[in-house]
Amino acid sequence: MKQKLINGRVLTPVGLQDGLAVVIENDRIIAVGPADETPAGDTVDLQGRILTPGFIDTQVNGGGGVLFNDDTSVEGVAAIGAAHRRFGTTGFLPTLISDDLEVIDRAIDAVEAAIAARVPGVLGIHIEGPFLNERRKGIHDASKFRVLEDEFIERLTRLKGGRTLITLAPETTTPDRISRLAAKGALVAIGHTDADYATARAAFEAGATGVTHLFNAMSQLQNRAPGVVGAVLENQTAWAGIIVDGFHVDPATLKIALRCRPHDRFMLVTDAMPSVGADADHFFLHGRRITVKDGVCRDDAGVLAGSDLDMAAAVRNAVERLDLDLASAVGMASASPAAFLGQANQRGAIAPGYLADLALLNDDFSVAQTWINGASS
């Protein structure tokens, strides 16, 4: 059965266009063009709203009242995905905050089972720690931290059917082990790190291709010590995640970063916690109470604990606070993470042959409807 989406403003690879129809058959887009020149199908009137590629979030700790660390099950993954789908996220990596190796094992098993069960939107797993630096721990429990040894490489890279993203501090391991993780198919991002500039550069040269929440929990740019931030701003190819909620990083700082590197090498991420898509003013992380107030998640000491951000709000903030046009902001939420995950030929664009992962936005950036693999919700 074909669906023919008409009467929308379609964000295509050449920009926002009126008068186009998007035709979906099964899980793919089969045509994009004038309505009278595209195949017939069951008509869906978009009522002038904005049709964009679905958003892809590579850092989702929780949602819908569920924290992945606490519910490493297919049902938990599905609940998180359903909560974020309401905000335009059609692909995501459930993200495990530093935990014991046995919990990591259960998380990998849960994601593998979720993919096998075709839970909508699950693209793999993000293992954020425990191979991190205590000096840049943020909200992570440092008692879980450990050094990345050879014996863990097979264990971390055994997921079948999806991508594995591993955030680590490069000073806790060696360039050779980073190379071996990459050779096993893992995506390696540097984060929660106090590495110096040379160590960060060596990590990129060894095969790290990502940066987890740029500026947060890493050594900063100084006049005689460029740090991780300096290594990232100099690097023109690694993908850098940014949390655009107005709390993690000042918008002026992000504007400066955007002038240093290609925009398509930035990714919007939420670092979302269980409060997204749930009516809750607190939750618990490793026994610590996290309070959610005015869009911010903090522990009792005031330490930021992930975010209360969703992807539709991240796109809106990127437009309103970073002075980006809609195409650039949506690209950071769709095409950039798709490319980072090695799926640029399948996701992140509205074009024939691509998976029908779409988000329909109102003018205020709220989400009216989504499609994942051609199925609407």
Looking at the annotation, which residues are catalytic?
271
**Cα angle value 373/2/115 (rounded, 5°):** 15
CA distance linking residue 90 with residue 95, whole number of Å: 16
Looking at residue 344, the DSSP 8-state letter turns out to be: T
Query: In 10 A of CB 50, how many CB atoms?
Result: 19
> Residue-wise over 59-98: b if at least 16 C-beta within 10 A, else e?
bbbbbbbbbbbbbbbbebbbbbbbbbbbbbbbbbbbbbbb
DSSP state letters, 288-332: EEEEEETTEEE-TT--B-SB---HHHHHHHHHHHH---HHHHHHH
Pairing of strands 89-97, 28-34: unpaired
Residue 85 has which token pair? 């789908």
220 secondary structure, DSSP code: P
What's the rounded Cα separation, in Å, for the pair 286 and 30?
47
Q: What totals of helices (H) and strands (E) does the chain contain, helices first? A: 10, 21
* Helix 175-183 and helix 197-206, axial crossing angle in degrees, nearest 10: 30
Q: How far apart are CA 309 and CA 213, in angstroms?
A: 13
Sign of the torsion angle spanned by Cα atoms 273, 200, 337, 93: negative
Task: Let me know if 20 is exposed, middle or buried by CB neighbors in 10 A (0-12, 13-18, 19+).
Answer: buried
